[in-house]
Amino acid sequence: MADPAESRTRGRTMVAGVVWNGLGRGLPLLLALVLTPVLIHQLGLDRWGLFTLALAMVGVFGVFDFGVGQALTRAISERIGTGRGGDAAALVEAALGTLLGISLVVAIGLWFFVPVLVDRLLQVPPELRGQAIGAMRVLAAAAPLVVLNAALWGVLAAYQRFRAANLVTIPVNLFYYLGPVLVLLVWDSLIGVMLALVACRLANTLSYLWLIRPLVPGLGLRWPRIALVAPLLRLGGWMTFSGLLTQALLYADRFLIGALLSLSAVAFYATPLDLVLRVWILPVAVAQTLLPAFASSFASAPAPTAALLRRGGLLVMLLVFPACLVLVGGAREILWLWLGEGFAAGSARVLQWLGCGIFFSCVAFAPNALLDAIGRPDATAKFAALQAVIFIPLAALLIHLIGIEGAAMAWTARAATDCAGKFVLVARLYPPGAEAARRLALPMLCGGLGLLLLLPMPGLVPLLIAATLALGVFAIAGLQSLDIEERGRIGALIRQPRLLLKPGAL
């Protein structure tokens, strides 16, 4: 009988999870890219700026699950890996009951805080004040749904039910982008847009519950047992602290620009940032597959775990580096084709810098998943606190000196620091992973330097030469990180692609 821990790290299982997670985020992304110009036209720049801030607030909601979603994934995966998966029901019930109570309190607090945010922290035009407050309050009421969805996804991830989860999530996420466009045709208000988003969150919650019931028989809503919740909250508390700091680092620049410059400047910065963050669908798809596998195997199978870290990190680089080359090299053309000359002139340089930074931001998902799996989110939280102390003031200074391009430069510097630091933490806290971290350093460095090389290129021909050179050097560095057996397998697959169809090819 196969070891349950090692069986959950098999290549075919990992690839299937990555593909389904990628589809679950990639298909809605395609629709979002098509509909973004429509939404900007329907809303106008000021309301579009408010809309992006509201979406940032939804991102912040995610940290109020207090890390229980990922802690659940880790706890259930560890039980499955050691043959104790049958006692998951009580754990899931305790977690959901606790999160529901906490998130209701958070929603009430946010409801009363919204006027302070609109009146004192943001430069909202007087004619939009009513819409801004109403829309953000509607979104605040959705906090329990956002929090519960994170926990429910954590359960599905622990059981590696990525196919079923994404099959029900894809249509809901498609409407997450289509809904606002349709609502604005009949109700020209941000409040209607937010109501559509809340309806999508509710549909997600109901569909996840429907999928989980067969996996966790007897699941219900009961008074949570502290003995079960306490370990999750202890681990999740650090995840929450880390998540809060990560969200602050991710979105602080938008609020700094809104406070120091204008809502229009927020739109010119946030739109390219939202575009590059879409690249996250690739590392998120990988990391969501890695976390339950890491949690099941790190204690009993350190060698496969380290190999999985190396392959997972390299896979993320291979997926995102070509996209980053396109973003950096074709920033102006992409924005011109997508949103017109105004955004091309105002945001092209921002997109170039962010295109460099997103490469490092994506790669950091792999070591972060391992740190969470081994139960050391406290290390990532402390590291995020150090970054906040350094990079939030740096962003404010650069925004003051050179505007939104300065914010993009600070964001990129922080992303590179975060990525390198997390690999250092892996090497120190999980020694079997040190060699994997060392072998990934060269392709990561070559990829980052190759992207930066494109920034000063003056024309199309030098740009194409630099991009070709960067891609070639990165490919050579990536091959150096593979084992001899892995290189031979890749060579065989290139020569005979039909081998991909054979069991054990991956």
- DSSP-assigned letters across all residues of 28-74: HHHHHHHHHHHHHHHHHHHHHHHHHHHHHHHHHHGGGGTTHHHHHHH
pLDDT score for 30:
84
Contact 406, 399 (CB under 8 A): yes
Mean pLDDT of the chain: 84
Question: Which pLDDT band holds residue 413 (cuts at 50, 70, 90)?
Answer: very high
| Backbone phi and psi for residue 93, each to the nearest 5 degrees, phi listed first | -60, -45
Question: Residue 152 is part of which domain span?
Answer: 4-501
More confident of the two residues 365 and 12: 365
Q: Say how far residue 111 (Cα) sits from the centre of its chain.
A: 26
How far apart CA 271 and CA 345 sit, in angstroms, is 13
Ranked by mean pLDDT, which of 1-15, 31-45, 222-236, 464-478 comes out on top? 464-478
Separation of alpha carbons 404 and 353, rounded Å? 11
Tell me if 320 sits within 8 A of 248, measured CB to CB.
no
* Distance in angstroms (rounded) separating the CA atoms of residues 143 and 237: 18
Rounded to the nearest 10 degrees, what angle do helices 88-116 and 129-141 cross at?
170
Could you tell me if residue 456 is inside a domain? yes
The number of domains in the chain is 1
Task: Give the pLDDT confidence of 91-101 residue by residue, as tens digits.
Answer: 888 888 888 88
Q: Give 30's Cβ-side CA count (13 Å radius).
A: 7
Residue 62 lies in a domain: yes
pLDDT at 448: 94
Instruction: Say which range, 226-230, 264-268, 434-438, has the weakest mean pLDDT.
Output: 226-230
Judged against a pLDDT cut of 90, whether residue 360 lies above it is answered with yes
Domain contains 324: yes
Give a yes or no: residue 484 inside a domain: yes
Q: Which residues contact 193 (CB under 8 A, 6 or more apart)?
A: 51, 135, 179, 180, 183, 184
Domain-located, residue 506: no
Residue 369 has pLDDT above 80, yes or no: yes
Cα 311 off chain centre by: 19
Q: Residue 359 above 60 pLDDT?
A: yes
* Nearest by Cα to 448 from 384, 369, 363, 386: 363
Query: Does 406 map to a domain?
Result: yes
By residue count, the chain amounts to 506
- Tell me the whole-structure pTM to 2 decimals: 0.76
Please tell me the predicted confidence (pLDDT) of residue 175. Answer: 84
How far, CA to CA in Å, does 44 sit from each of 188, 273, 332? 11, 18, 21
Q: Looking at the predicted structure, is the pLDDT value of residue 412 above 60?
A: yes
pLDDT of residue 37: 86
Which CA distances in Å does 498 have to 18, 402, 408, 492, 503?
Answer: 21, 53, 44, 10, 11
Lowest model confidence (mean pLDDT) among 5-19, 60-74, 250-264, 492-506: 492-506
Inside any domain, residue 364: yes
Counting beta carbons within 10 angstroms of the beta carbon of residue 154, is it exposed (0 to 12), middle (13 to 18) or buried (19 or more)? buried
The model's pLDDT over 254-290, given as tens digits with 9 standing for 90+, comes to 888 888 887 788 888 988 998 898 898 889 888 888 8
Q: Which of 147, 151, 169, 160 has its CA nearest to residue 70?
A: 151
**Is the per-residue pLDDT at 452 higher than 90?**
yes
Q: Specify the residue for token string 């004040």.
A: 129
Alpha carbons 270 and 408: distance in angstroms, whole number: 10
pLDDT bin (cut points 50, 70, 90) of residue 19 is confident
| Residue-level pLDDT at 143 | 84
pLDDT score, position 14: 66
Q: What is the pLDDT of residues 27-69, one digit of tens each?
A: 887 888 788 888 888 888 888 888 877 777 776 676 677 777 7
| Cα gap 425→427, rounded to integer Å | 5
Task: Write the DSSP symbol of residue 278.
Answer: G
Task: Give the confidence band of 122 by pLDDT, cuts at 50, 70, 90.
Answer: confident
